Amino acid sequence: MTDQPPIQLAAIVIRDGRFALFRANAEGAWSLPGGAFAAGTEDVDAAMDAILAAHGVSAPAIEDDFVQTVYLPLEAGGHALLNIYAPTEWTGDPAHPEGHERGWFGVNEIENLPMEERVRRAIFSAFGWEDETEEADLMRALAAGMEPFGALPATARDDDEMESLLMLEALEFGGMPGAAGESEPPERPRAESAGSRHDAGMDVLRTISGGDPVRAEAGLRRSSPELAGDIIDFALGEVWTHPALDRRTRSLQVVAMLAAMGGKSGPLRSHINGALNHGASAAQVVETLRMVAVYAGFPAALEAWPVMEDVFAARGIARPGRPA
């Protein structure tokens, strides 16, 4: 039995350009709202949602809001993992734990607050205010030497949807938007060797997400180490790269299957974004869900329809046929 580093969860909660922070006493260090990931718990996103709820915050799209993992040294040796989220949509009034103090701070104030330096750098890095961090080096090591990229500002969701780092049962990879209908990203030839299959899988992950796949791979290897290789090398590197179907077609197929299964909105949202990144038009996405209605039932299509509309709205796409 291997020792599992303790896992903490925390959220970057912003209101009017100021960050919610907590500390245990007047001399203590400030920290992000969060808590421990309980042993035996399987769903990290659900755990983060529950912790935020205990803090008086409701974040309905938390599964899309993962930012990065910070590695914190422990006094007894080793390190703990701090998974940080940045809720892009939230309501409520963050309540401090009993005996704690809450404060709202601007960016300039955070620079001078007493707090764990790695967490401070992670906040800045998450919003593109710091190019390099120690955590970036660790992420590079986890991702087999690939270069990391900076996260997008949570406040830019209307223009550039934050990378979705979903690694659940349906290849829940991100959705950074590209222009709808733009030409499909170039595909590599189908891979033959194990190494080339991995490279091809990473390239598919890049085109699905619309960005550098390093963070998605690192998150996948962290959350599902036993399946990560199969997902990247086989599902993406072997199946997705077969030349019989282009990536746009495959993306629309995945949208149809996820919608037909009535799955979670996170994976469906991710793959609708992926289809648009692969050059599918808004009309093609609409027609895909119409086919779902015919062959999988109208309830499934009606459940998927608002997810599609949310994606279109976030990317500024007018839905074809929508009444004026």
Per-residue pLDDT in tens (0 to 9) along the chain, 324 residues:
345 678 889 999 988 778 899 998 888 899 999 998 876 667 888 889 999 998 899 988 887 788 778 888 877 777 788 888 888 778 988 887 777 898 999 877 888 899 998 888 888 777 665 544 444 444 333 333 333 333 333 333 333 333 333 333 334 433 333 444 444 444 444 445 556 888 888 888 888 876 666 777 776 777 777 888 888 888 888 888 888 888 899 999 999 999 999 866 678 988 998 898 888 899 999 999 999 999 999 989 999 999 999 889 888 888 776 655
Residue 255 and residue 308 share a domain: yes
In angstroms, how far is the first alpha carbon of the chain from the final one?
61
Given 142, 168, 197, which residue is the final one in a domain? 142
Residue 69 lies in a domain: yes
Residue 277 and residue 189 share a domain: yes
Residue ranges making up the domain that contains 113: 7-142
- Whether the full predicted model's pTM is greater than 0.75, yes or no, is no
CATH classification of the domain holding 231: 1.20.1290.10
Indicate the number of domains in the chain.
2
- In order, the DSSP letters of 96-151 are PPTT-EEEEE-HHHHTTS-B-HHHHHHHHHHTTS-S--HHHHHHHHHTTTPPP-PP
- Is-contact 317 180, C-beta < 8 A? yes
Given 118, 142, 166, which residue is the final one in a domain? 142
Residue 152 lies in a domain: no
Residue 92 and residue 196 share a domain: no
Rounded Cα distance between 57 and 126, Å, is 20
- Is-contact 254 160, C-beta < 8 A? no
Rounded Cα distance between 169 and 164, Å, is 14
Residue 321 lies in a domain: no
Number of residues assigned to the chain: 324
Residue 188 and residue 134 share a domain: no
Rounded Cα distance between 272 and 270, Å, is 6
Rounded Cα distance between 272 and 64, Å, is 14
Residue 186 and residue 109 share a domain: no
CATH classification of the domain holding 40: 3.90.79.10
Given 142, 167, 190, which residue is the final one in a domain? 142
Tokens of 16: 């009017």
Residue 115 and residue 200 share a domain: no
Residue 220 and residue 185 share a domain: yes
Residue 227 and residue 98 share a domain: no
Residue 150 lies in a domain: no
Residue 162 and residue 90 share a domain: no
List pLDDT tens digits, range 38-70: 766 678 888 899 999 988 999 888 877 887 788
Residue 166 and residue 309 share a domain: yes
Question: How are strands ordered across the β-sheet holding 18-23?
Answer: 14-15, 18-23, 101-105
Predicted local confidence at residue 263, as pLDDT: 61
Q: Enumerate the β-bridge partners of residue 92.
A: 57
Residue 262 and residue 181 share a domain: yes
